[in-house]
Amino acid sequence: MDILLAIAIMALGAVVLGAALGFASIKFKVEGDPLIEKIEAILPQTQCGQCGYPGCKPYAEAIANGEEINKCPPGGTEGVQRLADLLGREVKPLDAEEKPKQVAIIDENTCIGCTLCIQACPVDAIIGAAKQMHVIIGQQCTGCELCLPPCPVECIHMEVIAENIDSWKWKYPVVEIKAAPVEEAA
Amino acid sequence: MLMNLFKFKGGVKPPTNKTQSVGQPIAAAPLPSRLVVPLHQSIGGTPRPVVQAGDKVLKGQLIGEADGWISAAVHAPTSGTVVAVAMHVQPHPSGLDALCVVIEPDGKDEWITRQPVDYKALTPEQVRERLQQAGVVGLGGAVFPTHGKLTASKTVAMEEMVVNGAECEPFITCDDLLMRERAEEVVRGIGIFRDLLQPKKVLIGIEDNKPEAAEAMRAAVKAVGENFEVVAVPTLYPAGGAKQLIRVLTGKEVPASKRSTDLGVQCFNVATAYTAWRAIAHGEPVVSRLVTITGNVHEPRNYEVLIGTPMDELLKLATPHPDTDGIVMGGPMMGFLVPEPGVPVVKATNCLIAHSDRLFPPKAPEMPCIRCGSCAQACPHELQPFEMYWFSRAKNFGKTQEYHIFDCIECGCCSFVCPSRIPLVQYFRFAKSEIWAREREKNAADQAKERFEFKQFREEREKAEKAEKLAKAAAAQAAKKAAEAAAAAAAGDAPAPAAEATAPAPAAAPSAADAEKAAKLATIQAAMERAKAQREAAQPKNTDHLTPEQQRAAEEIESRRTSAGLVPPETPVNEKSE
């Protein structure tokens, strides 16, 4: 008789706890993978596809599934460092050449108004219409270079964004290392 | 008049070095060979240039139009010719260029027609507008457009207005001389601010090492018949910091991430009050300011200097010693070595110090931080510089923000007292600018992400809309066909018309197919008709009913077009010959 009571108590406990867990899994369900969001927050959102994925989010998903972290040239070495810190992986040198920040410029004299670059721009930073001159909104341009290949007349070029007084940064204080004066031997 | 004064924590007492430059009265600096007036001289939007190379300008003429509410206009400092609107090196630690208007003076120094007004007849909005148009900005160093500070808060009653004549930084004496010689106009300027803000009390704080200035201000307050209180505050650097002076005079401590206006206090510099009075009562925009020229020179003195005067030309007036090797703009605590001697004087330039190793011996090399805590004791903002230093140095910027790095006013007290001679402020500036840059990048990335996601959403939506439209059209077509087929079938069953009599009448199926074909043909015919009608409707109609002149002009243009080969020659020529 005792054994039956014990089994009944254990079974009741299992049912109650199971119900509690089931409730919690519905009530506190996390939408999406929080890790992917954290990775995506580090990626520079240029949507350039240089990593081989069609945008920053797909690359973030791929990283979460084990893809290398050094495939994002716009993020630079610092981006790799931050991803490594987040994921506890080893820092690797960037898989491409690191470039300074750039902006695309359309040569107004050559543009034929074909709208191909408008379709290619991932962030809608080009305005224009068929047979009208196109222009790039410099502030919105991420410098992804995706508009360069579709242009049939090669009227788009990239320009490095020069430092100005507003974007200038104070430099890291340099510690001067001087040779100690050599003492004359007595 | 005894007043209970308060203390701020920390502070240092560097040698003041002020006596050298107060011996002589203010002198007007001679016209320089050319003036380089930067357009961006205040916090806020960069003014847009409204002159171009070759334009003649008069003294006080607008050359840069304020861009937005937080922005102040820029004016020609003397009459002459605009030589260029071009990039020029700025008096900024970066040594980078910014847009400037270069003016060659004609030597006449001819004013525009000045329009003095009685500000009491104007509405507060009009006064603020005038101050903005006259380019009045805070001359204490921050160059914040003054009109932006002159709107009384709706929620907090204005208790005290603090006027800053403390001038705590060593070497600088331009506010001292201004108060000694032009006290009445300063007081009248304060009167304008008082009338706009309606504070309960006006306190003028002057460090007690300037008794002459305080005396002159007291006399002027009495002469003008105001009830401002002139208060001598103890000499302690940085008593002239806005938050420090407010603390000393009112006992109110402005919390982090709040402004003094939240506590019902507003603070202005004495020189700002002076320029505001000149702007309103004399119609003179800010085209000059007082500059102390001191340091490694024979004759230190205060000069009234036109904005845009090259610093090297100005320094020559005080005959610098031959071992001078640079110019410091501002004081020795917060100033910086200008990137090259020819940079122009701007509205923020209160002092030029000729630099030499004799006057400012080079600092011995930096030693490790021993965590002695001297910097924390000296910090007037009660921060912990040694902690902020450590995290700035390690580029751990999140931690520096936890230690409130953005409350640091970069006064330099910590670097001054550091026994290890660590350039602490440089580390804090580095950390601050890195944090700002990251903030900018983060915002740009967020915006790019949002735009990218919207583009994807839009493309999806367009695709869906297109598919829906196609499906609808297909359904309509099918319905139409079915209806026609039914009609044809009905017609086939009835006695056939003569044209179709040749077809075997009882065969319903082939006749339905024929009917379908005919219906298709008919729709194509109809569509072609419609297109034709549309084409005709779209033909240009403006060539009908022309006057003879218009006809002639049109023909002329046509012939030019033909000769230029823009139009295939046959059609227009033929038309003309007819």
Q: Is B440 on the interface with A (CB under 8 A)?
A: yes
Residues of A in contact with B398 (CB under 8 A): none
Pairing of strands B336-337, B326-329: antiparallel
CB contact under 8 A, B448 and A142: yes
Q: Is A179 on the interface with B (CB under 8 A)?
A: no
According to DSSP H, which parts of B172-319 are helical? 174-181, 183-197, 211-224, 242-250, 270-281, 311-316
Pairing of strands B97-105, B80-89: antiparallel
Residues of B in contact with A55 (CB under 8 A): 452
Displacement of CA B552 from its chain's centroid (Å): 55
Q: What is the predicted pLDDT for the residue at B493?
A: 63
CB contact under 8 A, B451 and A175: no
* Nearest Cα residue to B53 out of B14, B84, B86, B16: B84
CATH code linked to domain B19-30+118-355: 3.40.50.11540
Q: Is B433 on the interface with A (CB under 8 A)?
A: yes
Contact B270, B140 (CB under 8 A): no
Residue B245, CB-side half-sphere exposure with 13 Å CA sphere: 29
Cα–Cα distance measured from residue A105 to residue A117, given in angstroms and rounded to the nearest whole number: 12
Q: Is B90 on the interface with A (CB under 8 A)?
A: yes
Say whether the ipTM exceeds 0.90.
Answer: no
Region A151-172: what's the mean pLDDT? 90
Q: What is the predicted pLDDT for the residue at B559?
A: 85
Q: Is B339 on the interface with A (CB under 8 A)?
A: no
Predicted confidence pLDDT, tens digits, chain B (578 residues): 557 889 999 999 999 999 999 999 999 999 999 999 999 988 888 999 999 999 999 999 999 999 888 999 999 999 999 999 999 999 999 999 999 999 999 998 999 999 898 988 999 999 999 999 999 999 988 899 999 999 888 888 889 999 999 999 999 999 999 999 999 999 999 999 999 999 999 999 999 999 999 999 999 999 999 999 999 999 999 999 999 999 999 999 998 878 888 899 999 999 999 999 999 999 999 999 999 999 999 999 999 999 999 999 999 999 999 999 999 999 999 999 999 999 999 999 999 999 999 999 888 888 999 999 999 999 999 999 999 999 999 999 999 999 999 999 999 999 999 999 999 999 999 999 999 999 999 999 999 999 999 999 999 999 999 999 999 999 999 999 999 888 888 876 655 444 444 444 444 455 666 777 888 888 888 888 888 887 776 665 666 677 788 888 888 888 888 887 765 544 444 444 43
* Token output for B160: 């005290």
Nearest by CB to B455, from A45, A123, A170: name it: A123
Nearest by CB to B434, from A122, A169, A175: name it: A169
Cα–Cα distance measured from residue B517 to residue B515, given in angstroms and rounded to the nearest whole number: 5
Strand runs labelled E in B68-121: 74-75, 80-89, 97-105
CB contact under 8 A, B429 and A170: yes
Min Cα distance A166 → chain B (Å) is: 10
Q: What is the predicted pLDDT for the residue at B529?
A: 85
Residue ranges per domain, chain B? Answer: 19-30+118-355, 370-481
CB contact under 8 A, B452 and A176: no
Taking CA–CA distances from A101, the nearest residue in chain B reads: B441
pLDDT tops 70 at residue A168 = yes
Q: Is B365 on the interface with A (CB under 8 A)?
A: yes
CB contact under 8 A, B430 and A45: no
CB contact under 8 A, A165 and B433: no
Q: Which residues sit opposite B59 in a β-bridge? A: B111
Q: Is B426 on the interface with A (CB under 8 A)?
A: yes
Q: What is the predicted pLDDT for the residue at B503?
A: 45
Residues of chain A with pLDDT > 90: what percent? 40
Expressed in percent and rounded to 5, the helix, strand and coil fractions of chain B are 40, 15, 40
Cα–Cα distance measured from residue B266 to residue B161, given in angstroms and rounded to the nearest whole number: 5
CB contact under 8 A, A124 and B366: no
* Token output for A167: 């974007």
CB contact under 8 A, B366 and A175: yes
Residues of B in contact with A170 (CB under 8 A): 93, 426, 429-430, 432-433
Per-residue model confidence as pLDDT tens digits over A6-61? 999 999 999 999 999 999 998 888 777 788 888 988 998 988 888 889 889 899 99
Query: What is the residue-wise DSSP string for B262-283?
Result: GGTEEEEEHHHHHHHHHHHHS-
Min Cα distance A3 → chain B (Å) is: 60
Taking CA–CA distances from A167, the nearest residue in chain B reads: B437
Q: What is the predicted pLDDT for the residue at B249?
A: 94
Cα–Cα distance measured from residue B29 to residue B302, given in angstroms and rounded to the nearest whole number: 9
In the DSSP assignment, the letter for residue B202 is E
Q: Is B448 on the interface with A (CB under 8 A)?
A: yes
Residues of A in contact with B40 (CB under 8 A): 165
Which of A123, A137, A144, A176 to probe by mutation at the B interface, max B CB count within 10 Å? A123
**Judging by beta carbons within 10 Å of its beta carbon (0-12, 13-18, 19+), is residue B567 exposed, middle or buried?**
middle
Residues of B in contact with A44 (CB under 8 A): 441, 445
CB contact under 8 A, A165 and B447: no
Q: What is the predicted pLDDT for the residue at A178?
A: 58
Q: Is B123 in a helix, a strand, or coil?
A: coil
* Token output for A10: 């254990």
CB contact under 8 A, A167 and B437: yes
How far, CA to CA in Å, does B570 sit from each of B150, B563, B577, B578?
73, 12, 11, 12
CB contact under 8 A, B451 and A124: yes
Per-residue model confidence as pLDDT tens digits over A108-149? 899 999 999 999 999 999 999 998 889 999 989 999 889 999
Nearest by CB to A173, from B98, B427, B451: name it: B427
How many residue contacts between A and B have a Cβ separation below 8 Å? 68
CB contact under 8 A, B96 and A164: yes
Q: What is the predicted pLDDT for the residue at A20?
A: 96
CB contact under 8 A, A170 and B454: no
* Token output for B37: 């007036």
* Of A78-87, A151-160, B178-187, B515-524, the least confident: B515-524
Q: What is the predicted pLDDT for the residue at B280?
A: 93
Residue B490, CB-side half-sphere exposure with 13 Å CA sphere: 6
Which of B90, B94, B424 to probe by mutation at the A interface, max A CB count within 10 Å? B94
Residue carrying structure tokens 């196109």: A134
Host H or E run for residue B336: strand B336-337
CB contact under 8 A, B448 and A168: no
Q: Is A47 on the interface with B (CB under 8 A)?
A: yes
Min Cα distance B22 → chain A (Å) is: 34
In the DSSP assignment, the letter for residue B152 is P
Min Cα distance B94 → chain A (Å) is: 7
Pairing of strands B351-355, B48-49: unpaired
Strands of the sheet with B35-38, listed across from one edge: B35-38, B97-105, B80-89, B56-57
Taking CA–CA distances from A164, the nearest residue in chain B reads: B96
Min Cα distance A138 → chain B (Å) is: 12
Residues of B in contact with A164 (CB under 8 A): 96, 98
Q: Is B94 on the interface with A (CB under 8 A)?
A: yes
Cα–Cα distance measured from residue B452 to residue A125, given in angstroms and rounded to the nearest whole number: 10
Cα–Cα distance measured from residue B180 to residue B157, given in angstroms and rounded to the nearest whole number: 32
* Nearest Cα residue to B39 out of B312, B349, B340, B347: B347
